[in-house]
Amino acid sequence: MQALIRYGFFIPLGADLTLNNFLFILLMTATVCIAAAGNIINNICNFKFDSINLPKKIVNFNKVTEKNANHLFIIFNSIGVGLGFYISHQIGKPEFSSFFIIASALLYLYATFIKSILIIGNVIISALIAFSIIIVGLFDLVPAITILNQQNQSFIFGILLNYAFFIFYMNLIREIIKDIKDIDADKNGNLSTLPIVLGRKRVSFIAFLMSVLAMFGSVYYTYIHLYNFTIAIVFSLVFVLAPLLFFSIKIWDASNKNDYIFLSKLLKIMMLLDMCSILLYTFVLTE
């Protein structure tokens, strides 16, 4: 997503950029390393629950000892935060290094205890995924802002924020779906999730309402910003609205774990397609 934003959105629209190609590769590497560290510590803390939810995963996990997994967690975190410090100082924004520290800390806290707090863990993970998009604008666009280019830079960054919010919203739905899917194991682990508190059917209805709201939001955004461009409307109808409609129908009828596994995977694909739609601005704004 980060490469798509820089090379398929920023550069074609003539944005003034701060990072050279080498520093941008380091930014992507730092993001991947911190995400990897977060996944590792989550797997370590989640071992008991995964033995119920994902027994096949446990077979693979047993190939790596907990000690080695902890070492990998430290290594990936160190690389990610270290690269963050280096990039921040290279662009003259040393305070930006705090973003990497906060992201790393939040992933650790999520794995160790925040995930057990009702809805808070879902929001934090969704916010971090959205921030992995925003951070490209913070490092590439913001330091390059001048009086002369402020309007164009702010306009491009504003579009990026819109996409980040939509990704946050869609992933929040996905987190809720995952909680429904994992309700049995979460009960055994004494976790507090929406499906446990409200019940599977009620939370499925909440996810349905959220998906319907996302459809209306997509229609409104397309009408306001892209209604004059046929290619944008067609893409939005086929790859954004149609999958949302299909999801809404499926979540209404979902009744077993396999249904929710399918819906979770569908949301992943939808998020990817949503991000790909940012390429439409290359056609819309350069015509």
CB 166 within 8 A of CB 274: yes
The pTM of this model reads 0.91
Please compute the mean of the pLDDT values over residues 119-133 and round it to a whole number. Answer: 95
Residues 6+ apart with CB under 8 A from 5: 133, 136, 137, 160, 278
Q: Who has greater pLDDT, 46 or 268?
A: 268
- Residue 43: the pLDDT is 87
pLDDT value at residue 206: 95
CA distance 74 to 90: 24
Give residue 51's pLDDT.
60
Once rounded to an integer, what is the mean pLDDT over residues 174-182?
A: 93
Residue 282 banded pLDDT, cuts 50, 70, 90: confident
Q: CA 62 to CA 244: how far, in whole Å?
A: 38
Confidence of residue 49 (pLDDT cuts 50, 70, 90): low
CA distances from 259 to 14, 249, 255, 264, 266 (A): 44, 12, 7, 9, 11
pLDDT tens digit sequence for 139-170: 999 999 999 999 999 999 999 999 999 999 99
State the pLDDT at residue 110.
93
Looking at per-residue pLDDT, the higher value among 224 and 121 belongs to 121
Task: Give the model's confidence band at 286: pLDDT under 50 very low, under 70 low, under 90 confident, else very high.
Answer: low
pLDDT band for position 9 (cuts 50, 70, 90): very high
Q: CA 174 to CA 251: how far, in whole Å?
A: 11
pLDDT at residue 97 in the model: 95
**Digit-coded pLDDT (tens) for 190-199:** 778 899 999 9
* Token output for 225: 């910003």
| pLDDT at residue 281 in the model | 81
Q: Distance between CA atoms of 283 and 243, rounded to whole angstroms?
A: 23
Q: For residue 237, which amino acid is it? A: L
Which residue from 63, 68, 125, 131 is spatially nearest to 96, judged by alpha carbons? 131
